Structure 1
Amino acid sequence: MTEDVPVIARPQDELLSIGVFAARARLSPKALRLYDRLGLLEPAHVDEVSGYRYYREDQIEQARTVALLRRLDMPLADIAGMVRLDGERAARSLDVYWAGIEERFAEQRTLAHYLRGRLSGRNAELYATFEVKTVDVPRTHVLSETRHVVAGELPSWIGSSAERLEKAAERCGGMPGPHFVVYHAEVTEESDGPAESCVPVADAEAARAWAAGQGRSSDAKVRLEPAQRLVYTRITKAQVGYPQIIAAYDAVEAWAAERGLTVTGPCREVYFADWESSGPEDEVCDVALPVAVG
């Protein structure tokens, strides 16, 4: 009587070949090989001799998820991080990614509207979409930080400088007004200002002591901001980005010029709302110019 020899099933007998798996997952073999190299979707088995890749049937859902995320134009590096998360964390990661996409779309839509007006020569119609007003602001001491920055560096610096100055203001009697940024020269991709980030403080002496304690390497200083009249227009978060914010500045300048007002100082942006919690269409900023009174 001969002893039965057990038959060992080969992995490829149990698994799906790359061609079959690609068809089931609605992906190309080329895409699967790329996803393998990037760690997005590793095969369940690779034949040591032939190098053929084999996949489990339960990997089809993951493969389709990767393909769908690519339809959202999500970078492969972001997908690689997301597929390693559990369901809830992956969903939250997708929410963060898509919020960024919607914010960029809102900015681009605003910029396209502005460019349409410029290209068609209907600038006056474009400016009419901005409601321009005036406001008188009292003199106040400000704690400030000045930096040479180009347009691409500006958002990060504005946020970080505001955080530093606002924390300092808490130790200087608080903030009697919102954070604002003064542009002492043009800031574009080619021109670096400088720009000055300012936070009003209630206790000027405490602010001077704080600034002095930061040492020579610090940009912080205390100065008096004079009482003045501002011509301004209120804009949304989507309108703040460069270069679409130029439309707001153009509208304010045109409004002042039509009324014969004399500009007395550099332009500024006054940030009165919490940036992080605001959506693309929420009003967050006043674009303003100081003008002579009377």
Structure 2
Amino acid sequence: MYTISRFSKLCKMSPRMLRHYDKEELLKPVHVDETNGYRYYEKSQLETALLINKLKEYRFSLPEIKTILQTSDKKFYIEFIHSKINELSNEMNRYRQIIAEMQGMIEKKEDIIRGKRRSYDILLGMRNEVSIISQSLQIPIADMDKYIDSIYAKAEENHIQLLGAPSVLFLDEEFNPDNSHIELVIPIIHENGCDTSSEWQIKQLPEQFVATTLHFGSYDDIGYGHMALEEWTDSNGYCLDGPSYETYLKGPECDCPAREYVTQICFPIMKIARQ
């Protein structure tokens, strides 16, 4: 058997990392001395340690690596690899878009530090009462697309006819990209007797007065659109009358560059009563 010090040198992992993998039940020592707490590893575990290193190089997370190590299903392992390839390919495409955007800024001699604030046209209108399929979620905002796909699938399974693009209501007072409380909604043709579930529901959104604008392009600077609506609302004697929401009229599902995305931003508002 190898001491943790010797084993760490063989597999190129720090003792601290090996202790972490023990805690995560990813790579546990075969023996821990009860008197001094020394950890010992077998020669056969070296192969597992090297596989972990390789999977980390392939950008698998620790939970994903744990799943791979626990399965003996070769087909499942290959599907997992294909999934990661697709994920990395999408990430590479995103980096290519970023590089192209940065090169464009240099060529146009734009102010890279301060950027260029856009102008937004603000419109007022009454949102009609509408039936929706709705799902309340507490998720990392980066995972939103897969939940949108999921609710489309739920609607199809339950023969619910969709009428428009998906919207997301932001329910947190403070934005946390790693744990956002949102409500995902899509307009539908309401059918009496349609079942709901613990995951989603069908309900009515009431008629509401809204200020709205369109944001064209990447979601990275969509905050400028929200800022424009906030400034217009404050300067025209209105206040928010509910959570703001975004409607994704054209997005990643169109398989188009981010600069072609179209997002409608809506603020439910009400006139501030004069004192």
TM-score, normalised relative to structure 1 = 0.48
1:144 and 2:112 aligned = no
Separation (CA, whole Å) in 1 of partners of 2:39 and 2:215? 64
How far did 1:137 drift? Answer: 9.6
Partner secondary structure for residue 70 of structure 2: coil
How far did 1:269 drift? Answer: 1.5
Equivalent residue, structure 2, for 1:91? 81
Contact 2:155 2:162 survives alignment (8 Å): no
Partner secondary structure for residue 167 of structure 1: helix
- The alpha-carbon distance between structure 1 residues 195 and 76, as it changes in their structure 2 partners (threshold 3 A), is closer
Separation (CA, whole Å) in 2 of partners of 1:78 and 1:137? 47
Separation (CA, whole Å) in 1 of partners of 2:13 and 2:82? 26
Contact 2:248 2:262 survives alignment (8 Å): yes
1:250 and 2:227 aligned = yes
Separation (CA, whole Å) in 2 of partners of 1:163 and 1:252? 29
How far did 1:250 drift? Answer: 1.6
Partner secondary structure for residue 40 of structure 1: coil
Letter in 2 for 1:81: T
How far did 1:145 drift? Answer: 6.4
How many residues align? The count is 236
Equivalent residue, structure 2, for 1:232? 214
Separation (CA, whole Å) in 1 of partners of 2:245 and 2:57? 40
Separation (CA, whole Å) in 2 of partners of 1:47 and 1:162? 45
Q: Quick check: which has more Rg, 1 or 2?
A: 1
Aligned ranges for residues 15-34 of structure 1 at < 5 Å?
18-34=4-20
How far did 1:233 drift? Answer: 1.3
Letter in 1 for 2:214: Y
How far did 1:281 drift? Answer: 4.0
Letter in 1 for 2:203: A
Aligned ranges for residues 5-84 of structure 1 at < 5 Å?
18-36=4-22, 38-42=24-28, 46=31, 53-56=40-43, 59-67=45-53, 76-84=62-70
Contact 2:148 2:166 survives alignment (8 Å): no
Separation (CA, whole Å) in 2 of partners of 1:21 and 1:235? 51
How far did 1:73 drift? Answer: 8.4
Equivalent residue, structure 2, for 1:189? 174
Separation (CA, whole Å) in 2 of partners of 1:71 and 1:64? 11
Letter in 2 for 1:178: A
- The alpha-carbon distance between structure 1 residues 54 and 230, as it changes in their structure 2 partners (threshold 3 A), is closer
1:272 and 2:249 aligned = yes
TM-score, normalised relative to structure 2 = 0.50
Letter in 1 for 2:50: R
Partner secondary structure for residue 41 of structure 1: coil
List runs of 5+ in structure 1 lacking aligned partners.
Answer: 1-11, 107-119
1:202-246: CA deviation from partner (whole Å, max 9, x where unpaired): x5xxx26357x769x9661265689x995311243x53xxxx643
Separation (CA, whole Å) in 2 of partners of 1:281 and 1:47? 53
**What is the RMSD of the two structures over their aligned residues, measured on CA atoms?**
6.2
List runs of 5+ in structure 2 lacking aligned partners.
Answer: 97-112, 176-180, 269-275
- The alpha-carbon distance between structure 1 residues 151 and 89, as it changes in their structure 2 partners (threshold 3 A), is closer
* Higher alpha-carbon deviation: 19-28 or 273-282: 273-282
Partner secondary structure for residue 151 of structure 2: helix
- The alpha-carbon distance between structure 1 residues 25 and 198, as it changes in their structure 2 partners (threshold 3 A), is closer
Letter in 2 for 1:88: I
Separation (CA, whole Å) in 1 of partners of 2:90 and 2:249? 22
Separation (CA, whole Å) in 1 of partners of 2:127 and 2:87? 42
How far did 1:286 drift? Answer: 1.0
1:86-143: CA deviation from partner (whole Å, max 9, x where unpaired): 552452464477689889999xxxxxxxxxxxxx8x5xx5422xx7468999986621
How far did 1:49 drift? Answer: 10
- The alpha-carbon distance between structure 1 residues 137 and 171, as it changes in their structure 2 partners (threshold 3 A), is farther
- The alpha-carbon distance between structure 1 residues 92 and 41, as it changes in their structure 2 partners (threshold 3 A), is farther
